[in-house]
Structure 1
Amino acid sequence: MISTVRSSLTRKQKLLAGLNQKDSLGLEIGALCRPFLLKDDGPVIYVDHADTQTLRDKYKDDPNVHADAIVEVDAVWGANTLEQALGGRQVDYVVASHVIEHVPDLIAWLSELRSVLNPGGEVRLIVPDKRFTFDYFREETRIASVLYSNLIRARVPQPQILIDYCLNVAKVDCISAWKSPLDPFSTERHHDVKTALDVARDCLENGAYHDVHCWVFSPRSFARLFREMAELDLIDLACVNFFDTARNDMEFFVALKPSNDKSHIVNSWRRMETGVRDDAPGRPFWKARRALHFALAPC
């Protein structure tokens, strides 16, 4: 069933709507110091890319992370597969908040989540809406980029993604983005061309990992991309519920469930694609780019 925005619900209520935490085994990816799944509410496995002490050392000077409050990581998902990290255990549901946009190989990541689900299991995601974040001026992800990263079995964000990220992320205030389109000329950027080329070269020559948003979504483009992946038999996950981006907020919520019925999967994403709202004032990327092109064009 597809849901629209219900602003009375909390983030946790939207994310976990309909789940029986007490009698189900959950898995939360990348919880750090702000887990949605609490062990007092039901059994949970915390998974991250490194062990607890490594994470606390990594984030000890980060003002946005309370390093001492980082959860005790139960399984490390690094160079191994998620199934290997869990030691063959299966779970009833997976939760990941603001994680999907960071994974270098989207298709492989989704496949690994699918591999550890019990029959009837679900994946619950919180996804940033690019129209109200620092990704405002970036292009929404296209299927070709996702296919390429899967083709090369990407383990790190690729050079072209790093360049796009560094050149286009900007200091965006969510509320301002809801009020009116942002001016690409006056909005401050986070990085410059030198930084973009330096990190891309570091990846290309050294295989270095730079943590960026590999994938950029609005609710509609997310649904369109997943519909396209389903049409190409790249995923077998249907959309069973979603909460659109609430006004003055910057994220949306999606629930996915495995299915063997391709038609059902494709149609579920089509329903989300046509069901999202269109009242957000954020200017489409192509309009901003066209304005920039016209301004730079010679007279």
Structure 2
Amino acid sequence: MDRTQRLLRSLTKDARLVEVGPSFNPLAPKRDGWNTFVIDHASRDDLVAKYKAHEGVDTTRIEEVDFVWQGGSLADAVPADQHGTFDAFIASHVIEHTTDVVTFLKAAETLIRPDGVIILAVPDKRKCFDFYRHPSTTGDALAAFLEKRSRHDTRTHFEFIMRTVHKGGAPGWHADDTREGIIAIPFEKAHEQLGLAALPEYVDAHNWIFVPSSFRLMLLELTAMGYLDLRVEEIAEAEATEFYAWLRRGREAMTPTELQAARRHLMDLTIVELSQQLRQLPVSLLGEDSAEAKVLDRIREADFRAEATQIVLAAVLASTGWRGLDRRKFQTLIAEASRSIPVSGPAAVQHLVLLEGARKVLGLASGA
């Protein structure tokens, strides 16, 4: 299943869709038979003119824009009689650019049907040029919403420009990529960023920074405070660059105690997810014989062990039906996972964990 199939898996071409900011790379293009309405910041003609000089951009993929958004809520760009009529609201690598994430998500709520779905592809800071930036918080979201922010502030422009990092010239990469990250802009340019927020025209930037659990936490807290009425149906990680989120209308009912426990759990998971960035740090950064390097190796090994255990559990779930465990399918899944693991370095421990886990599962399945 490719990326598009994965994101749109619950939809048919009869579904009424609204796609936000698809530019020259729509997920559900009209030309492929999707019943899609496009919201963008400019008309098709203007977008073609904008991207004409961009190398590698196929402007023929830019589709007719149905609703031109020129500020305020996205929902205001759509006639009121079409609010609540869309089966899905789709946005790939858009949410991170918004000045006000609360208003963005409230617009999505407004546009979809009661049983509709919000489908998002979101940059994962562990695997993209936001690597060195700190995750956004609910407090950040509330400040932007209550200030009715329509331009990125000085902090956003500074952080976006001065902490952007590339690996091999690429803006995104796999979670275990140990190539050195190259900071894109020399620090001598720092003062130039301070005036961007005061310009009359909008200057784009990555504003919202997430890992999957920090995104869940923000949604949970904003909904608990009454600013949104959404729940996370599912979040799935991609191999590189991003993660995917499917949201539905309607908050999850929780007691105050349950809410506190859920918040604490997501805070803990956010720390765990951020710790996975340690995989990408070269040991040479700390010195191979240093105490810090030895601690880092132990953390990496524990992280890889935990991931291998998750792989085994996922294989069990995928291989178990009403007749019990399909041993051949389970062994195939474990073998496929094993082939993708490096044979040296801290990740090599996963081979042992997969083997041990598989033996235990197969032994239990046979009654041994």
Secondary structure at 1:110's aligned position in 2?
helix
Question: 8 Å contact 1:231–1:262 — kept in the other structure?
Answer: no
Structure 1 segments (4+ residues) deviating >4 Å? 173-177, 264-267, 269-280
Aligned ranges for residues 50-69 of structure 1 at < 5 Å?
A: 50-69=42-61
For CA contacts below 8 A with separation 6 or more, give which structure has more relative contact order.
1
Q: 1:196 to 1:91 in 2, by over 3 A?
A: farther
Residue equivalent to 1:30: 21
Provide Cα deviations, 1:202-241, integer angstroms capped at 9, x if missing partner.
Answer: 323x344221110111112211222222232221110112
1:137 correspondence with 2:135: no
1:17 correspondence with 2:9: yes
Between Structure 1 and Structure 2, the one with more helix by share is 2
Residue equivalent to 1:156: 151
CA RMSD of aligned residues (A): 3.0
Q: 1:123 to 1:278 in 2, by over 3 A?
A: same
Q: 1:224 to 1:64 in 2, by over 3 A?
A: farther
Point out the structure with max Rg over C-alpha. 2
**C-alpha displacement of 1:31:** 1.2
- TM-score, normalised with respect to structure 2: 0.66
Count of aligned pairs between the two proteins: 269
Match of 1:84, as an amino acid?
Answer: D
Q: 1:170 to 1:224 in 2, by over 3 A?
A: same
Match of 1:258, as an amino acid?
Answer: R
Residue equivalent to 2:363: none
Match of 2:176, as an amino acid?
Answer: W
- TM-score, normalised with respect to structure 1: 0.79
Residue equivalent to 2:104: 109
1:120 correspondence with 2:115: yes
Distance between the aligned counterparts of 2:6 and 2:140, measured in 1? 30
Q: 1:198 to 1:175 in 2, by over 3 A?
A: closer
Distance between the aligned counterparts of 2:200 and 2:138, measured in 1? 24
Question: 8 Å contact 2:100–2:145 — kept in the other structure?
Answer: yes
Question: 8 Å contact 1:220–1:272 — kept in the other structure?
Answer: no
Residue equivalent to 2:241: 250
Match of 2:52, as an amino acid?
Answer: K
Question: 8 Å contact 2:131–2:165 — kept in the other structure?
Answer: yes
Q: 1:73 to 1:21 in 2, by over 3 A?
A: same
Match of 1:129, as an amino acid?
Answer: D
Question: 8 Å contact 2:73–2:103 — kept in the other structure?
Answer: no
Distance between the aligned counterparts of 1:284 and 1:138, measured in 2? 17
Residue equivalent to 1:190: 184
Aligned ranges for residues 170-249 of structure 1 at < 5 Å?
A: 170-172=165-167, 174-175=172-173, 177-180=175-178, 187-204=181-198, 206-246=199-239, 249=240
Distance between the aligned counterparts of 1:104 and 1:114, measured in 2? 18
1:77 correspondence with 2:58: no
Secondary structure at 2:105's aligned position in 1?
helix
For structure 1, the 5+ residue unaligned runs are 1-8, 286-290, 292-299
